[in-house]
């Protein structure tokens, strides 16, 4: 045997290095690595709360905090502009990573001014500001710049807006608006704004305070349904502004629906509305709620992220709370509306018209939660695949599976029998039942070459912890292009906040995007059409 025949740069096993730029991933295979800007985007969208199959949450957090720290010193403009973009566009299911990164940047001299200037754009609600305050104290003290920025958050708003934030978002992470005002000492010439500050800090309701404050104070003191409903309508109180006793009354929720529940609040309160009898099979408020849930413009203006709709759909359809907060009988029309809302939350996606093969990693490592939510990476991948199947008429889906029991079985592709015509929770159960094996992300290209399939775009959903297979994915794509004569493209959708990717960053026909970024379907379609990266 000629031992030199074992060295092959055109077909290299994934446990061996095929390119000097590759590094060993935590599963033992070799993959490419992302630059800090790409890693930052993964962190901001996906977070680190659930860790990964191979890394505990703290370990994964430390890796991403190092990225934020490097960028804060070396490229503060990109760091802060990316935080603002991801936060304001509604592309992430949770704001915690963006607020954390902004707080970190506010403590680094090179990025502090930019971060504090961006505070109003990222901390848009009282909850965001209080969360930011909790994070920022982990990195710095309350110097002049921080006090000025927090004070400016309040003084840049009119009295009604400050009152609304103060009574709706009263406490978070051990912080209150009273705490922040005492630290920031904001100065204003507006009598109503001064009166509002005085009420927040001292509790004194002067003549100049906004009417909302008076309505809130009266609602907290009231004990009867008539008063609560009257105050809701008169002052447009939200459910957070009412005492707990009021929230168990159907008439109060009727009034809240009349005033208009914001989309996110409506998603969270569907179980309660059902338990209180407001969403019966016929009549009640069912038709109205269904119309609101499926209003795409309303979802987009409310920055409702698709993953939050998916979590709401799964929770509501289950008829029980994961936290043990009660049970309810799901209303089928509402379940169907939530299915439609999931697709609508992505906005209008123009099909690329390309022949697309979607491959979903269902391996054991994909069981890690995504964004700290009760949703695994494999379930999130399947949900995104459904959106692509609904968008692209020429798309088919497969899953990386195994040809037998046990993780040592050979990795194979199996048809993913899911369809947008199925209910979301039914489709996700199909994925959960698929046997898992070692992930070989080269299989879509090998399969297409073997079966002589014409594929323009391969889309692979994975955590990039790949090691199985006798050839690397980028090598398999190159071979497929040569054999088929098709300038095929590969989109890698990374589902965890690691720094690994199977996509070759030097290949213009490969694209790495962040999993469950709300813009993923549009990004994939644009890239498949040949749009510029």
pLDDT for 532 equals 38
pLDDT for 179 equals 97
pLDDT for 63 equals 87
Angle, alpha carbons 70-68-467 (nearest 5°): 95
Domains of the chain, residue spans: 55-212, 222-260, 263-348, 352-529
pLDDT for 166 equals 96
Residue 439 to residue 90: CA distance in whole angstroms: 31
Asked if residue 196 lies in contact with residue 166, where contact means CB atoms within 8 angstroms, the answer is yes
Query: Which CATH number is correct for 352-529, 3.40.50.410, 3.40.50.1000, 3.40.50.920, 3.50.50.60?
Result: 3.40.50.410
Provide the 8-state DSSP code for 327: B
State which residues of the chain have pLDDT below 70: 1-9, 49-56, 324-325, 371-372, 402-410, 436-438, 531-533
- Whose CA is closest to 465, among 41, 28, 151? 28
pLDDT for 454 equals 96
Provide the 8-state DSSP code for 294: T
Kind and range of the H or E element at 151?
A: helix 144-155
Q: How many residues does the chain have?
A: 533
Residue 442 to residue 469: CA distance in whole angstroms: 7
pLDDT for 533 equals 39
pTM, full prediction: 0.86
Q: What is the dihedral of CA 510, 516, 517, 521, to 10 degrees?
A: 60
The tokens 């359809």 sit on which residue? 317
3-state secondary structure of 478: helix
- Widest pairwise Cα distance in the chain: 95
């Amino acid at each position: 045997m000629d031992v030199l025949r074992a060295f092959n740069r055109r077909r290299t096993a994934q446990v061996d290095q095929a390119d000097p730029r590759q590094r060993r991933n935590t599963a033992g295979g070799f993959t490419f690595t992302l630059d800090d800007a790409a890693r930052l985007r993964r962190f901001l969208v996906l977070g680190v709360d659930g860790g990964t199959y191979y890394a505990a949450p703290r370990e994964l957090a430390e890796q991403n905090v190092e990225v934020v720290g490097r960028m804060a010193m070396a490229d503060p403009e990109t760091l802060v502009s990316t935080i603002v973009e991801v936060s304001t566009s509604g592309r992430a299911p949770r704001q915690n990573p963006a607020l954390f990164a902004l707080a970190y940047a506010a403590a680094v001299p090179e990025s502090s001014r930019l971060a504090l200037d961006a505070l109003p754009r990222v901390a848009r609600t009282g909850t965001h500001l209080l969360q930011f305050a909790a994070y920022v104290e982990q990195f710095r003290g309350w110097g002049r710049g921080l006090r000025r920025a927090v004070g400016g958050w309040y003084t840049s708003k009119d009295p009604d807006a400050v009152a609304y934030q103060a009574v709706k978002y009263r406490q978070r992470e051990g912080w209150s608006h009273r705490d922040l005002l005492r630290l920031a000492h904001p100065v204003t010439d507006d009598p109503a704004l001064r009166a509002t500050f005085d009420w927040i800090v001292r509790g004194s309701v002067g003549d100049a305070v906004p009417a909302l404050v008076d309505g809130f104070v009266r609602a907290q003191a009231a004990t009867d349904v008539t008063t609560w409903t009257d105050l809701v309508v008169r002052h447009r109180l939200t459910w957070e502004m009412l005492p707990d006793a009021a929230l168990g009354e159907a008439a109060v929720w009727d009034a809240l629906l009349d005033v208009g529940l914001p989309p996110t609040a409506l998603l969270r309160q569907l179980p309660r509305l059902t338990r209180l009898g407001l969403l019966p099979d016929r009549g009640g408020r069912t038709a109205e709620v269904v119309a609101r849930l499926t209003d795409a413009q309303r979802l987009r203006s409310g920055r409702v992220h698709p993953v939050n709709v998916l979590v709401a759909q799964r929770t509501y359809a289950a008829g029980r709370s994961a936290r043990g907060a009660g049970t309810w009988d799901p209303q089928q029309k509402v379940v169907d509306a939530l299915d439609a809302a999931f697709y609508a939350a992505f906005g209008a996606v123009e099909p690329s018209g390309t022949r697309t093969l979607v491959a979903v990693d269902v391996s054991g490592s994909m069981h890690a939660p995504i964004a700290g939510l009760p949703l695994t990476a494999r379930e999130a991948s399947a949900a995104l695949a459904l959106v692509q199947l609904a968008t692209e008429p020429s798309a088919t889906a497969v899953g990386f599976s195994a040809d037998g029991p046990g993780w040592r079985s050979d990795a194979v592709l199996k048809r993913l029998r899911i369809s947008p015509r199925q209910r979301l929770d039914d489709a996700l159960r199909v994925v959960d039942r698929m046997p898992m094996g070692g992930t070989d992300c080269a299989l879509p290209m090998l399969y297409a070459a073997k079966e002589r399939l014409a594929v323009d775009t391969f889309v692979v959903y994975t955590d990039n912890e790949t090691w199985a297979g006798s050839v690397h994915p980028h090598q398999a794509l190159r071979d497929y292009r040569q054999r088929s004569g098709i300038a095929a493209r590969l989109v890698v959708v990374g589902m965890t906040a690691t720094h690994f990717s199977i996509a070759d960053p030097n290949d213009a026909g490969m694209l790495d995007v962040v999993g469950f970024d709300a813009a993923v379907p549009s990004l994939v379609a644009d890239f498949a059409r040949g749009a510029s990266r």
